[in-house]
Chains A and B, each alone.
Chain A
Amino acid sequence: MTALGDRILGLGLMVLAVAYGWVAQQWPEPFGGAETVGPETFPTILAVVLVAGGIYLMIKPDPDAQWPLGKSTLELVVSLLVLVVYAMLLEPLGFIISTTLAVGTLSWRMGANPRSAFVTGLISALVVFVLFNYGLSLNLPAGLLEVN
């Protein structure tokens, strides 16, 4: 029974808390003189609480969770990449194309066969696009498919 996860988290939180608290001390005194509660008071309290929390975790960590290894990690990274690329391509390629690709890839990676995955992607993209642009009159980017 190792408990490395919580220890690392505790350390990370402590570093974060110290940095957060330190930044708060650098702010200039607000215009009109210092009050008991300035902009830095509340963050300072929070930093102290978080330092305490971090120390607690390092002293009394819970047993580690099961972390994904090998292939699962790869799948996770792929899914994340899909999400980021989806956000990137949403405007240039337009909603329908990018959504078909994103939903298709995700459901394919989650175990659907590629054809039905991309068909699902296309159908859901079309339905949502029509629903949003015509039903709710919100503009989703048409991108490459734009017709003027």
Chain B
Amino acid sequence: METLGFLMEGFAVALTPYNLMFALLGAFAGTLIGCMPGLGPANGVAILIPLAFTLGLPPETAMILLTSVYAGAMYGGRISSILLNIPGDEPAMMTCLDGYPMARKGRAADALAISAIASFSGGLIGTVGLIMLAPVLAKFALSFGPAEYFALFLLAFATLGGITGKNPMKTVIAATLGIMISTVGIDISTGTQRYTFGVLELYEGIDFILAIVGLFAISELLFFVESRMGRGREKVSVGKLTLSFRELVSTIPTQLRGGVLGFISGVLPGAGASLGSFISYTLEKQVLGKKGKFGEGDIRGVVAPEAGNNGASSGALVPMLTLGVPGSGTTAVLLAMLISLNITPGPLMFTQNADIVWGVIAALLIGNVLLLLLNIPLVGVFVRLLSVPPMYLLPIVTMVAFVGIYSISNSTFDLYFMVAFGVVGYFLRKLEIPVVPIILGLLLGPEMEKNLGHALVLSDGDWGILWASTLAKSFWLVAGLSLLLPYLVGPLLRRRMNAAMQENPVSD
């Protein structure tokens, strides 16, 4: 009941015309970002952070804007999957399997409509799950001491690669690099200058927004330049909507199953939206067996992964909001926004910044409704924008990133830094070092060091405290397992995913 009261207050925050406007704006921009190939949700949110900053938005509005972008991007990812057979983002991969065949059969409009509806119900189920689970988890997390937090951070890094990740050691390396970057600047507890080399700009440390935009947006541009995909691809025409009400009703069980499964895999560390849509799709295939024509344009093959990935995207907000530990790239970027707004993420946020947390949650609900309303009539607009070739689009996106970074500090110094991060990001991605752990390391590094310090002060210098409690022990155990599991289970799962993908190309 208490939760319901908070939720109502959240609605009061989110429903003010000002915030509603930004939610709408975010939902629209998010769908656009999601449907452009090569401009995933993490990327899109990253570029918008500096803008949200320079606009001087109040924290709850800024968060509402970015969460709507996040939700919108998950909607948008499906458009290019269905029409171009190129997933706009990774979770939309599974939507290609039946979405594209449907489009080829002349049912593109139906596929787009039903996937919007499936996204809506997935998102709704996920958000309801978030509302029920988050406060409980936040209350539980209040009992964590510094040692538990330290172990939890390790767990977050260890699981980030996911059980489908290729080389867990590379995740570890990436995370370490990120944390190392975060140690640059004046040490908070002692005042020692670390790695500043007397450069004034480094005293306050390296701004992670620069790093994020550089690592994501600039390196993406370089990848496009290299692959010369500038011309875009041919797409299937949309055609008329022929979806019948009966067909819609027949997919409801699929939507429910997909949403719930997606939510669960979103909450679990290291699983994320990609796995959410994969599991939903595979389960649906198992449940329906021969009754369905999966892979040949079965409508439920579009519904399941879409419900799954939108459920997962809400689920992924649970650990981010309650523990301050994001489980995916995009939620990491959202966390960056929170930290830059001077809000300490974690369980205390539910008491200290209740308006923001519940405002965001309410905005997710509203955002889902807005997205559904936007997506059905406006699908034509998005489709037209999809045909803007990347050779025009990416330079403009890069320019917007430049403007955003420049307007934070009005200094060109930051721009050089951002470009440098872009180059580093390009090389690391080429070498298959993932960039998301770097960002998470940058964000969580200071907290990790602080908790390590506190834990050792409490124990009077005994390092054993880090794994003394049962909870901490289990965190260490899960972290260790998630680094080992990819070697054991990973190849198997990946083979299955690949088998399911058949000849379909996978972007990034």
* A contact residues vs B (CB 8 Å cutoff): 5-6, 9, 13, 20, 23-24, 27-28, 30-31, 35-39, 41-43, 46, 49-50, 53-54, 56-57, 60, 62, 65, 67-68, 72, 75-76, 79-80, 83-84, 86-88, 90-91, 95, 99, 102-104, 106-107, 109-112, 116-117, 120-121, 124-125, 128, 132, 136, 138-140
Chain B: number of interface residues, binned into ranges: 35 or more
Interface of chain A, helix or strand or loop or mixed? helix
Q: Which 10 residue pairs across A and B have the least CB separation, nearest first?
A: A36-B461, A106-B395, A87-B415, A110-B230, A110-B391, A30-B190, A111-B230, A39-B192, A53-B173, A37-B453
Contact with A along B175-191 (1 / 0, CB 8 A): 01101100100010111
A99–B397 Cα distance when bound, in Å, is 12
Q: Do B222 and A76 have beta carbons less than 8 Å apart?
A: yes
Q: What are 10 A-B residue pairs whose CB atoms fall within 8 Å in the complex?
A: A37-B453, A38-B190, A54-B173, A56-B169, A57-B169, A72-B228, A90-B402, A110-B225, A120-B395, A136-B55
Shortest Cβ distance from residue A134 to the other chain B in the assembled complex, whole angstroms: 14
Question: Which B residues are in CB contact (< 8 Å) with A95?
Answer: 403
Q: Do A50 and B190 have beta carbons less than 8 Å apart?
A: no
Find residues 403-440 in chain B having any chain A CB closer than 8 Å to their own CB.
403, 406-407, 410, 412, 415-416, 419, 422-423, 430-433
Q: Do A124 and B194 have beta carbons less than 8 Å apart?
A: no
A104–B391 Cα distance when bound, in Å, is 10
Residue ID in chain A nearest B197 by CB atoms: A23
Q: Do A5 and B431 have beta carbons less than 8 Å apart?
A: yes
Question: Which B residues are in CB contact (< 8 Å) with A84?
Answer: 416, 419
Q: Do A75 and B226 have beta carbons less than 8 Å apart?
A: yes
B449 located at the interface, meaning its Cβ lies under 8 Å from any Cβ of chain A in the complex: yes
Question: Which A residues are in CB contact (< 8 Å) with B180?
Answer: 20, 43, 46, 50
Known interface pairs A76-B225, A79-B225, A111-B230; A57-B416 also in contact (CB < 8 Å): no
Q: Do B432 and A65 have beta carbons less than 8 Å apart?
A: yes
Residue ID in chain A nearest B188 by CB atoms: A39
Q: Do B452 and A110 have beta carbons less than 8 Å apart?
A: no
Q: Do B456 and A36 have beta carbons less than 8 Å apart?
A: yes
Question: Which A residues are in CB contact (< 8 Å) with B194?
Answer: 24, 27, 39, 43
Of the residues A41, A50, A65, A83, contact of B176 by C-beta under 8 Å: A50
Shortest Cβ distance from residue B426 to the other chain A in the assembled complex, whole angstroms: 8
B167 located at the interface, meaning its Cβ lies under 8 Å from any Cβ of chain A in the complex: yes
A39–B186 Cα distance when bound, in Å, is 10
Residue ID in chain A nearest B174 by CB atoms: A53
Shortest Cβ distance from residue A111 to the other chain B in the assembled complex, whole angstroms: 4
Of the residues B173, B228, B406, B452, contact of A90 by C-beta under 8 Å: B406
Question: Which B residues are in CB contact (< 8 Å) with A86?
Answer: 402, 415
5 further interface pairs, Cβ-Cβ under 8 Å (given A5-B430, A107-B394): A36-B457, A36-B460, A75-B228, A99-B399, A117-B391
B366 located at the interface, meaning its Cβ lies under 8 Å from any Cβ of chain A in the complex: no
A62–B173 Cα distance when bound, in Å, is 14
B231 located at the interface, meaning its Cβ lies under 8 Å from any Cβ of chain A in the complex: yes
B467 located at the interface, meaning its Cβ lies under 8 Å from any Cβ of chain A in the complex: no
Residue ID in chain B nearest A112 by CB atoms: B391
Known interface pairs A57-B173, A75-B225, A132-B407; A90-B415 also in contact (CB < 8 Å): yes
Q: Do A124 and B399 have beta carbons less than 8 Å apart?
A: yes
Shortest Cβ distance from residue B368 to the other chain A in the assembled complex, whole angstroms: 28
A9–B177 Cα distance when bound, in Å, is 13
Shortest Cβ distance from residue B176 to the other chain A in the assembled complex, whole angstroms: 5
Shortest Cβ distance from residue A136 to the other chain B in the assembled complex, whole angstroms: 6
Q: Do A88 and B412 have beta carbons less than 8 Å apart?
A: yes
B340 located at the interface, meaning its Cβ lies under 8 Å from any Cβ of chain A in the complex: no
Most chain B C-beta atoms within 10 Å of own C-beta, residue among A5, A80, A88, A99: A80
Question: Which A residues are in CB contact (< 8 Å) with B410?
Answer: 139
Question: Which A residues are in CB contact (< 8 Å) with B187?
Answer: 39
Residue ID in chain A nearest B221 by CB atoms: A79
Question: Which A residues are in CB contact (< 8 Å) with B231?
Answer: 111
Question: Which B residues are in CB contact (< 8 Å) with A90?
Answer: 402, 406, 412, 415
Question: Which B residues are in CB contact (< 8 Å) with A140?
Answer: 403, 406-407
B18 located at the interface, meaning its Cβ lies under 8 Å from any Cβ of chain A in the complex: no
Question: Which A residues are in CB contact (< 8 Å) with B176?
Answer: 46, 49-50, 53
